[in-house]
A and B are shown apart, each in its own frame.
Chain A
Amino acid sequence: MKKHNKLFTAFAILATLLVSCNDFLDQPIQGKQVLENYFANEDECLKALSGCYASLSPEDWWENDIFYLVGDICSDDAFKGNSLEGDQRDFGELARFNITPQNEWVQYKWQYAYEQVYRCNLVIKNVPEAPVSDALKMKVVAEAKFLRAFAYFELVRNFGDVPLLLEPLTVNDPKQVRVASTLIWKQIEQDLNDASSVLPERSEQSAVDVGRATKGAALAYLVKAYVYQEKWSDAETLAEQVIGSGEYNLNDPFTNVWSVHNANGNGSIFEIQTVYHDVLDAGTALPVFTRSRADGGWGFCTPSSYLDNFMAADPRRNATIIKEGDYVDADYPSYDTSLSENETGRINRKYWVAWNDRPAQSEHTRTPLNHILFRYADLLLLHAEAAWHNSNEADAISSVNKVRNRVGLGPIGSSGDDLLLDIYTERRMELAMEGHRYYDLKRQKGIKYPTSPRLKEVMEEFVSYNMGANSDYDAGNAKGSLFDENTHVLFPIPQAEIDLSEGTLTQNKGY
């Protein structure tokens, strides 16, 4: 028994030893940075800021990049395009205004805009506390504020009233409610003003910073924010300031505006930056998404014959639309739009990339075509619109004529309501198929129905053309007949979001 006792003692000692090894239970997370000790140096602050930009074009989620096309398909300029009903059905339902709160595209827009808000809020909150120079703090926070304003701009123009988050929240914070769009606009103005007072002009940027937010971009978006709110006088004054800065011009030929070889061109105010990379998805999906299915594309967002007729005599038409059989270049002497799968027999020329410029691999995530979100011609035409509302017709005409002059069109000399129509016409010609028209038509007042958004009368004419006089490829397509001016000027709050908020978020009218 003696021996046994020893054994027993040994066993007991061993057990006690084990108990005392306390470190055993402390296991750090391996191989990942954690937020609680991030923002410790300059590099980390800059990387977090880069993350704010990355939300503009998420690496593997092309749907966000593509959502801008809603500006065309929800108007008279374009159709869903691809005639296979099952292919991107929800995209087609947007085009037809048969929009449910379950529409996945609407959900993506919402999710990515708020992802950007969250990332910007982290930077705006943490960088001022970080052990870095004051100059860096100011620069990083200013860019983040620009991007936060951009995200809220996208939210407010698509959804109206939305939750307003100015700090990074955690999962245990109380549920949010929707905040009146007037307050969202106010915050956008505030952030853009803050940003513009710190950001450098484009000409002051060093070469490595090209693509980052500039003072000009902040002010231009502020102009747009004023226009959306019909603050015409603020808009005109500020637009003049940007025009007067001389930072932007129309020196690039129109045919070269959308080119993989013209990244950040002379008229570029803000664009999503892309590049081809062998492994990383740093390109855009726009070309593949919109190209003909016979040309290795998916055939979406195709221009209507209605737009084609409208532009028929305009020098910009061939740089905007490719129709079945059109000559494009030596590789594509007679373009095949894949008629059996294309609702309109046309595709968007602006996003079309020549054969030799297409990447060999993963084209739909790696095409290096920068996505221009704001260019100088847009600003000039916003200026014209604002000036007209302020009864400064000469200034309005001057801006329109700058745009016309580039493409070799003579000056206009109209006045009054005709002038406004001319401004609208110029805007459509210049910016067609760049994702603007739906948003323009819903903020502009109607002429036939002055109390309704202009979108109403435009969709009426469009439907009546398609169901009547139209004998083109897209004849008989009833797209637009479901449009309801009381509902479709805003998209629905995603149903999943309403469900998750359990009642604190309410739905938009009509959904």
Chain B
Amino acid sequence: MKKIFRHFPVLLIVLLLNVLCIPSSIAQDALTISGSVKSGEELLPGVSISIKGTTIGTITNFDGEYTIQASANDILVFSFIGFNTVEESVNGRTLINVNMIEELTELSEVIAIGYGTVQKKDLTSAISTVKGDELAKRNVANVSQALQGQLAGVQVSSNGGSPGSEASILIRGISTINNNNPLYVVDDVPMDDISWLNPKDIENVQVLKDASASSIFGSRASNGVIVIETKKAKAGRTNISIDATYSIQDAAKKPKMADATEYAKIVNKAATNSGLDAPFSDPETFGTGTNWWNEVTQVAPIQNYSVSINKGTEEMKIASGFSYFKQDGLVKGGGYDRITMKLNTEYKLASWLTIGQNLSLSKDRTDNGPNLVWDVQRVEPNIPVYLPAYEQEGKNEFSIYHPTLYTDVPNPMGQLARSFNKTDYLRTIGNVFANFDFGLGITAESKFAFYISQWENNDFGPTYFIESTDYNNENWVTRSHNNRTQYTWNNLIHYKKQLNNHKLNMTAGMTLESDENRYLYGEGYNTPNNHPDLRYIDSTEDTKRYASGSNNKNTRQSFLARANYSFNDRYLLTASFRADASSRFNKENRWGFFPSVSGAWNLAEEGFMESVSWLSQAKLRAGWGQVGNDNIDNDALLTTLGRTVYVFGAERNINLGQAPASVGNADLQWETVEDMNIGADLGFWNQKLSASVDYYERRSKDMLLATSIPYYLGSAWSTPYANIGTLTTKGFELVLTYRKEYASGFRMTHSLNLSKASSKITKLVAGEAIWSGNHQRLENLTRTVEGGVAGEFFGMVTDGIFQNESEVINYTDEFGNVLQPHAQPGDMRFKDVNGDGLINADDRAVIGNPEADFTFGMNLNFEYKNFDISMLFTGSYGNDVLNAVKPYAGTGSERYNSFAGLLDKAWDGEGSSNTQPRLAAIDDNNNFIYSDFYIEDGSHLRLKSMQLGYNFPQTWIEKVHLGNARIFIGGENLFTLTKFDGLDVDLGGSALERGIDWGQYPLPRIFMVGANISF
């Protein structure tokens, strides 16, 4: 991590350089103009005045007065943060007084808070927002990826770089050890899938972080709520806007594997070290062999195009749009493309009635290539990809690959050739609504929304023969469908009243939701041959077909109410209540009630603060609320039965039986999350610098978790849900935003967000520990206990390497018993943690913490004239990660390939290494048992995104009748500073398995070029 801090000065210098760009005003022999600048009756100091098209400028003094020299034809530009810019032509005048109008600042921005809106200044709870424009800058497939690094308290981790993959989002750390996905609410409709949304169609995103904000969404809000407002039809002239981006991706980091010669030497050494014959007589003859990584990867393009059209009058508004996104896989065989279309209309039928509809269509296709990243790091390099030409003769196209001779990894290129798995997704999302205005401040709305998706997967397995462990005698075809239908009906009434200094805003309503999945699967065997035209179930043998299908449905009913009250814009109070019933629970446990209350004090509005002019905003907030979590399977309460197969009879007939397939827990109830948030929003020097701090404590009670149960209960593969305990998360968030504008027209906006969330298990039922993370080599990777962090890495503790025989013999307990009698020099020394004189599983200890001390995001934006540059940095500090590839490639003890350099790195004689054990084919000491050997520092700093844009001058644009034209170049994942050895340090994962690198799909480094045009 020190390394990263070494680079912070570089960033600081970048920042300083900006500050130092102070423009100088050069005198000119021309008119001397003077005047004063006011806002209403108030004089404004610090307003910058510049001569348009030059860098000449000045600033008003403390009395709001200025003097500048300009020629008679010049135009003066008056600009001041928080006010609309004013342009005045000199026209020979020497006295120019200006009255500036406060611009609609971010404080008066309207924030969607779910079932209603509120002005930002009236907020009482912890809500972060990001504008759609910010997200649109990122050339990524979906909204979740675009949110990375943008908001304090919102931690976005990539789930690898495979095309179209969604990132995982954590709001304020983990709130449960169950599913931590936030609830998405798109235009007031709750949903769990937003991958259909084109990021460019988003107006703004609000993240409701604390329960006082999110409790209006009750039973599903425990992981926070992301409220998304899509772009709606607006009144105005016809506006057409076109975006086009083209990008190229390559791997941000490639694995460095041993070449064929080193591989053979490692295998030989491991064998001879164990007293066995060396399998390879002359390793050098292998040369470098096959570089499997290069074989399976490619430089791949991303294309992204969208068009939107909007036109509207007060009576009728229409917006429509179209987009196309296509990403080829960095690893061959993968790919993703998506087409979206939308149509929004709104009609004002009468002064009291508006009706309308929103409709979005999204069609995407994913080529699900095999996950070769894992395999190419294990397969031996000393075989060619293909059989020699003379051996290929007479074989089909899937059988011409060389068998792997020394490992059980199938030939990766062979796997690629057989990859036919494709998923098609068609989603139709929309709503119809009617808004009523009853007068007297009473309005009502009824909205019926639907989400209908059709998911289809097709796969084909050809006949082929590569070797006796990698072949298929009978080809097969599968197809599956899932139809999902989700309906939501919202009925809301709003009441708004202002009386003198009292403002009251009330909302009440009820909602109904239903969600149904219908699944069908079919498979068939033995099509006449592998021809593409015959890869359908119809071509398979009709006695060799099999089908399955399922249905499940759940429903919810809710009542909600909320009231906002404000007095004199200074004292704000919000209270809300939601009652939810879910079909997932028994009648006795069905209803859950979720109240909240929050308040804020606008200190800066107080009379006694008037004299403190440098403080432009000061708001103190506090909130409390309860939310819930019903994230369990529909049949979680019941033990369901599944089909078993056995054989009876002299004729040996199949006999199908029944046995419990998944075990239920009849006593399940809601998980309740209660949280408290205090915060302050501060603005200085008329918002030139603003800061927002929040501190929170959140307690998740009766956490629902699918847990492993003792195997003796007879259902080892079943993980029933249980209310397993309490998790307490404490954290803080800080956002600093700095804006500066120079008379020269140079502007910058920088913001830094910093978050810390620390989750401790405060209670587990019966004090049990939860084990998670089943690795083929290492078993349970994490343990979660009362008083500990969720998902702590728990394994053996190493203490260097035995350098010689006497170190082995002298490593004893207090009675002189040798602790590791099977060890040899070069073997790992393990600590006898519990001091019982034995080295065994009881000596495991906490060996790593997946939770970061803090995570951060930093946005740097510069604008000068027509140019703009933006950079986004993301990172974390102090978290541990587990390298789960290392048990294969980092040990050299089996015939899997190793990381390059392992031959020299491994212990080979006294003093040669104290971290990497000797190479050994037979390892009686279990050197590579799960230990801190696999834990690494996950701190990192990444330049996530960078963009340089140029806006064509207005004068040119007008000539060609364009409204706006911008071109840009940019990049993603341009560099990462970290000590982690794996391919990507940005690891998501579930609550109990955070920070584990399972051979994740590598993150692409992307270079892009694009244009936006509107007219």
**Chain A positions near chain B (C-beta within 8 angstroms):** 1, 4, 7-8, 11, 14-15, 18-19, 24-27, 29-36, 38, 44, 46-57, 59, 84-87, 89, 96, 98, 100-102, 107, 110-111, 114-119, 121-122, 162-163, 165, 168-172, 175-176, 207-212, 263-264, 273-275, 277-282, 293-298, 340, 360-361, 368, 476, 478, 482, 494-502, 505, 507, 511
Asked if A34 and B640 make an inter-chain contact with CB atoms under 8 angstroms apart, the answer reads yes
Beyond A32-B640, A50-B644, A118-B713, whether A496 also contacts B780 by CB under 8 A is yes
Query: Is residue B491 contacting chain A, with contact meaning CB distance below 8 A?
Result: yes
Supposing A101-B841, A482-B924 touch, asked if A210 and B649 sit within 8 A by C-beta, the answer is: yes
Task: Name the residue on A nearest B491 (C-beta).
Answer: A15
Q: Which residues of B are found within 8 Å of A52, using beta-carbon distances?
A: 657, 659
CB of B614 within 8 Å of the partner chain: no
Nearest chain A CB to B794's CB is how many angstroms away? Answer: 10
Residues of B within 8 A of A (CB): 275-276, 279, 352, 406-408, 436, 438-439, 442, 444, 446, 468-469, 473-474, 489, 491, 493, 510, 512, 514, 525, 543-544, 546, 549-557, 581-583, 590, 634-635, 638-642, 644-661, 663-667, 708-717, 720, 722, 766-769, 771, 779-780, 783, 822, 840-841, 888, 893-896, 921-922, 924, 926, 929
Q: How near does chain A come to B294, taking the closest CB pair, in angstroms?
A: 24
Cβ A502 vs Cβ B767 within 8 A: yes
B residues less than 8 Å from A280 (CB atoms): 645, 654
Assembled-state Cα–Cα distance A132/B881 (Å): 58
Counting chain A CB atoms within 10 Å of each CB, the highest count among B647, B717, B924 belongs to B647
What's the nearest-Cβ distance from chain A to residue B486, in Å? 14
Contacts of B822 in A (CB 8 A): 482
A340 to B281, CA, bound (A): 14
**A111 and B711 contacting across the interface, CB-CB below 8 Å:** yes
Q: What residue of chain A has the Cβ atom nearest to residue B489's Cβ? A: A18
A47 to B489 alpha-carbon distance, docked (Å):
44
Task: Please determine whether A211 and B716 come into contact, CB atoms closer than 8 angstroms.
Answer: no
Known contacts A25-B590, A54-B657; 16 additional CB pairs below 8 A are A4-B436, A27-B583, A38-B641, A84-B407, A84-B895, A89-B894, A114-B713, A118-B714, A171-B709, A171-B720, A210-B650, A211-B648, A275-B652, A482-B822, A496-B779, A502-B767
Chosen A-B contacts, 25 in total, with CB atoms closer than 8 Å, are A7-B438, A27-B554, A30-B552, A33-B658, A35-B639, A38-B641, A48-B659, A50-B644, A50-B648, A50-B656, A52-B659, A54-B657, A86-B407, A98-B924, A100-B926, A119-B660, A171-B665, A176-B710, A207-B651, A211-B648, A280-B645, A361-B473, A495-B779, A500-B708, A500-B771
Closest chain-A Cβ to B930's Cβ sits at a distance in Å of 8
Q: Are A8 and B641 in touch, CB under 8 angstroms? A: no
A49 to B644, CA, bound (A): 10
Q: Collect the chain A residues with CB atoms within 8 Å of residue B634's CB.
A: 27, 29
B474, B583, B657, B712: residue with the most chain A Cβ atoms closer than 10 Å = B712
Q: Name the distance in Å between A50's Cβ and chain B's nearest Cβ.
A: 3
Say yes or no: A275 contacts B644, CB within 8 Å. no
| Nearest A residue to B764, CB-CB | A502
A47 to B894, CA, bound (A): 45
- Residues of chain B lying within 8 A (CB to CB) of residue A207: 649-651
Q: Which chain B positions have C-beta within 8 A of A118? A: 660, 713-715
- Tell me the complex Cα distance, A110–B710, Å: 11
Asked if A50 and B896 sit within 8 Å, CB to CB, the answer is no
Q: Are B640 and A29 in contact (CB under 8 A)?
A: yes
Q: Which single member of B469, B473, B512, B660 contacts A298 (CB below 8 Å)? A: B469
Secondary structure call for the A interface? loop
Q: In the complex, A499→B722 CA distance in Å?
A: 17
Instruction: Determine whether the beta carbon of B665 is less than 8 Å from that of A172.
Output: yes
Could you tell me the distance between the alpha carbons of A207 and B652 in the complex, rounded to whole angstroms? 10
Which of B549, B582, B646, B648 has most A Cβ within 10 Å? B646
Q: Which residue of A lies closest to B475 (CB)?
A: A361
A-B contact count (CB 8 A): 289
Does A499 contact B771, Cβ atoms closer than 8 Å?
A: yes
Q: Which of B635, B644, B652, B711 contacts A496 (CB 8 A)?
A: B711
What residues of chain A lie closer than 8 Å to B656, measured between beta carbons?
47, 50
In Å, the complex CA distance between A36 and B635 comes to: 12
Complex CA distance for A110 and B894, rounded to whole angstroms:
28
CA distance A260 to B506 in the complex (A): 78
Q: Please, how many angstroms separate the alpha-carbon atoms of A30 and B489 in the complex?
A: 24
Tell which of A36, A56, A169, A277 touches B638, judged by Cβ atoms closer than 8 Å. Answer: A36
CB-CB under 8 A from A33, the residues of chain B are: 640-641, 658
The answer to whether B640 and A35 have CB atoms under 8 Å apart is yes
Residue with the highest number of chain A CB atoms closer than 10 Å, among B438, B557, B659: B659
Tell me if A278 and B896 are in contact (CB < 8 A): no
Q: Give the chain B neighbours of A100 by CB distance below 8 A.
A: 841, 926, 929
Q: Please indicate the chain A residues that have their CB under 8 angstroms from the CB of B660 in the complex.
A: 35, 118-119, 122
Nearest-Cβ distance from residue A467 to partner chain B, whole angstroms: 10
Docked Cα-Cα span, A497 to B709, in Å, equals 9
Nearest chain A residue, comparing its CB with the CB of B543 = A278
- Partner of B654 from A101, A172, A275 at Cβ < 8 Å: A275
Minimum CB–CB distance for A429 against chain B, Å: 30
Residue of A nearest to B765 (CB): A172
B658 with A31: CB separation less than 8 A: no
Chain A proximity of B277: nearest CB distance (Å): 9
Do A279 and B544 have beta carbons less than 8 Å apart?
Answer: yes
Chain A residues with Cβ below 8 Å from B550 are 30-32
Q: CB within 8 A of B646: which of A29, A53, A165?
A: A53
Find out whether the CB atom of A111 lies under 8 angstroms from the CB atom of B639: no
In the complex, chain A residues whose CB is within 8 Å of the CB of B840 = 101, 507, 511
Contact A211–B710 (Cβ < 8 Å): no
A44–B658 contact, CB under 8 A? Answer: yes
Tell me, in angstroms, the Cα distance from A35 to B553 when the chains sit together. Answer: 20
A31 touches B549 (CB 8 A): yes
Complex: A54 Cα to B648 Cα, angstroms? 11
Cα–Cα distance between A238 and B525 once the two chains are bound (Å): 51
**From residue A365, how far is it (CB to closest CB) to chain B in Å?**
10
Report A-chain residues with C-beta under 8 Å of the C-beta of B647.
211, 273-275, 282
Q: Are A30 and B544 also in contact (CB < 8 A) when A494-B711, A496-B711 are? A: no
B54 to chain A, nearest CB (A): 59
State the CA gap A59–B659 with chains docked (Å): 13
Q: How far is the CA of A413 from the CA of B99 in the complex (A)?
A: 125
Shortest A207–chain B CB gap in Å is 4
Given A51-B659, A298-B469: A59 touches B771 (CB 8 Å cut-off): no
Partner of A1, one of B408, B439, B512, B771: B439
- Is there an interface contact between A209 and B771, defined as CB atoms closer than 8 Å? no
Are B645 and A282 in touch, CB under 8 angstroms?
Answer: yes
Known contacts A110-B711, A171-B709, A496-B779; is-contact A59 B638 (Cβ 8 Å): no
Contact status A502-B766, CB under 8 Å: yes
Beta-carbon contact of B769 and A499 below 8 Å: yes
Residue of B nearest to A264 (CB): B650
Give the CA-CA distance A36 to B660 in the complex, in Å: 11
Q: Check B657 against A48 for contact (C-beta < 8 Å).
A: yes
Docked Cα-Cα span, A441 to B551, in Å, equals: 54
Is A499's CB under 8 angstroms from B649's CB?
Answer: no
A115 touches B716 (CB 8 A): yes
Q: Closest 9 CB pairs between A and B?
A: A118-B714, A50-B657, A51-B659, A86-B894, A54-B644, A111-B716, A273-B647, A51-B657, A35-B639
Alpha-carbon distance A162/B715, docked complex (angstroms): 17
Which of chain A's residues have a CB closer than 8 A to the CB of B553? 27, 30
**In the complex the two chains form, is A51's CB within 8 Å of B658's CB?**
yes
Closest Cβ of chain A to B507, distance in Å, is 14
User: Which B residues touch A107, using CB under 8 A?
Assistant: 711
Inter-subunit contact B653/A208 (CB<8 Å): yes
Determine the chain B residues whose CB is within 8 A of the CB of A84 once the complex forms. 406-408, 894-895
The minimal Cβ–Cβ distance linking A149 to chain B, given in whole angstroms, is: 16
Expressed in whole angstroms, the Cα–Cα distance for A117 and B715 within the complex equals 10
Do A11 and B446 touch (CB < 8 A)?
yes
- B408 lies within 8 A of A273 (CB): no
- The docked-state distance in angstroms from the alpha carbon of A171 to that of B719 is 10
- Cα distance A122–B641 in the bound complex, in angstroms: 12
- Docked CA distance A246–B734 (Å): 86
Nearest opposing residue in chain B for A173, CB measure: B713
